[in-house]
Amino acid sequence: MKTAYIYLENGVFFQAKSFGAEGTQVGEVVFNTSMTGYQEIITDPSYAGQFVTFTMPEIGIVGANPQDNERETTHCKGIFVRKYQDFHSNFRSKESLSSFLKSQNIMGICEIDTRGLTKMLREEGAMMAIVSTQISSKEELAKTLASSSRIEEINYIQEVSLKNQKTHTQGTFCFESFDFQTPATNKTIIAIDFGAKDNILNELVQAGLNTIVKPYSFQADEIIALFDEGKIQGVFLSNGPGDPMVLSKEVEQIKKLIDKKIPIFGICLGHQLLSIAHGYPTEKLKFGHHGGNHPVKDLKTGAVQITAQNHNYSVTEAIKEVAEVTHINLFDGTIEGVKYKHSPIFSVQYHPEASPGPKDSTQLFREFAQML
């Protein structure tokens, strides 16, 4: 393994080992508390522009396989792990994690104190960093980092969104046959791809929805015309990376859909964009929510669901003026779900499709289908 050099914007500098792609990358460092599913996390487009620190100390033993990818192309900058295990032992494994990362040009950094790094991020907040297998000088790394764009200044959805419209027909993975299902569909929706995980689209299809996926650069007038003609019954707004407040063009298009009172379901970034389109800006959390073990309370039923989450931004309490808060996070009390008072629109901050994570909330996809 080559030596890797890491410099954080708070001035911390340390050395580690590299087991992924070589080179120099700049990104935001966050931590993820999931115990399993590292491949799904790495291939989640919402991590575009970020280094993911895994709190799980041993990573790599189950290798990698094509079925667990959430997108074909990976967009995170790299991963930090305490100990990398190159020997992979799983009947579904096709290659080592190291081989997978190199094929995707993603950095893999190991032999660092991820517990200490996680504590630092928890206390000081998510921060920018530069990682290199080429530059060893602390001063040069600091200079390069200072001159690089911050994550909130970059529109990453331009990179992660699909380029052309497609129809998604694949349902969820069936563990009995180790294949994906193709259920019958009876309603048609437009899914806007801001960086949608494949399993979100799978769950929409599984709920009985014919899912037409459009790029982030969608035109609301085209969707409204399809709705008026009865060719579609609703719209889904996906998850995605980056700061939602920079997506002014997308917000303007969403406003048109809201005014038309088209049924809409939003997840994660889609949840945040709906709030902004209603006139209520989001705020950045100190270190975000990233993991597969976040308790969320359904305020209507009182039930507590364990959820998968991946976001740095949050809808604020001001949204209560136009929406009913339906779910809250039991870790910090932040808003996790809303239902708008005067429109057929609801959204959640967490990931009901999981992958990885618990499946406690998959009924939300069926609720969307029933609403249509």
Mean pLDDT of the region 70-97: 96
Of the residues 70, 110, 168, 268, only one is catalytic, namely: 268
pLDDT confidence band for 182 (50 / 70 / 90): confident
Instruction: Identify the pLDDT of residue 183.
Output: 80
Range list of H helices, 82-197 = 97-103, 114-124, 138-146, 157-160
Instruction: Identify the pLDDT of residue 165.
Output: 97
Instruction: Report the b/e string of 213-236 with b at 16+ CB within 10 A.
Output: bbbbebebeebbebbeeeebbbbb
pLDDT confidence band for 62 (50 / 70 / 90): very high
Instruction: Identify the pLDDT of residue 179.
Output: 82
pLDDT confidence band for 177 (50 / 70 / 90): confident
pLDDT confidence band for 176 (50 / 70 / 90): confident
Strands 264-267 and 234-237: parallel
Instruction: Identify the pLDDT of residue 370.
Output: 94
Mean pLDDT of the region 71-85: 96
pLDDT confidence band for 68 (50 / 70 / 90): very high
Q: Is the pLDDT of residue 185 over 80?
A: no
Q: Is the pLDDT of residue 290 over 80?
A: yes
What CA–CA distance (Å, rounded) separates 292 from 38?
11
Q: Is the pLDDT of residue 178 over 80?
A: no
Query: Which residues, at least 6 apart from 164, have a Cβ–Cβ distance to it below 8 Å?
Result: 215
Q: Measuring CA to CA, which residue among 266, 270, 283 is closest to residue 318?
A: 283
Of the residues 88, 294, 311, 351, only one is catalytic, namely: 351
353 has catalytic annotation = yes
Q: Is the pLDDT of residue 175 over 90?
A: no
Of the residues 28, 111, 203, 353, only one is catalytic, namely: 353
Output the average pLDDT for the chain: 96
Q: Measuring CA to CA, which residue among 260, 283, 261 is closest to residue 334?
A: 283
pLDDT confidence band for 349 (50 / 70 / 90): very high
Task: Supply the DSSP string of 208-243, one letter for each residue.
Answer: TEEEEEEETT--HHHHHHHHHTTS--EEEE---SS-
Q: Is the pLDDT of residue 306 over 90?
A: yes
Percent share of the chain, pLDDT over 90: 94
Instruction: Identify the pLDDT of residue 174.
Output: 80
Residues 249-262 pLDDT 10s: 999 999 999 999 99
Q: Is the pLDDT of residue 173 over 90?
A: no
What CA–CA distance (Å, rounded) separates 60 from 44?
17
What CA–CA distance (Å, rounded) separates 79 from 32?
10
Q: Is the pLDDT of residue 186 over 90?
A: no
Q: Is the pLDDT of residue 110 over 90?
A: yes
Query: Which residues, at least 6 apart from 313, have a Cβ–Cβ distance to it below 8 Å?
Result: 243, 244, 245, 272, 282, 283, 284, 285, 288
Q: Is the pLDDT of residue 184 over 80?
A: no
Type of residue numbered 91: F
Instruction: Identify the pLDDT of residue 215.
Output: 98
268 has catalytic annotation = yes
Q: 3-class SS at 275?
A: helix
Instruction: Identify the pLDDT of residue 356.
Output: 93
All domains in the chain, ordered by first residue:
2-153 (3.50.30.20), 157-371 (3.40.50.880)
Q: pTM for this one?
A: 0.95
Mean pLDDT of the region 98-111: 98
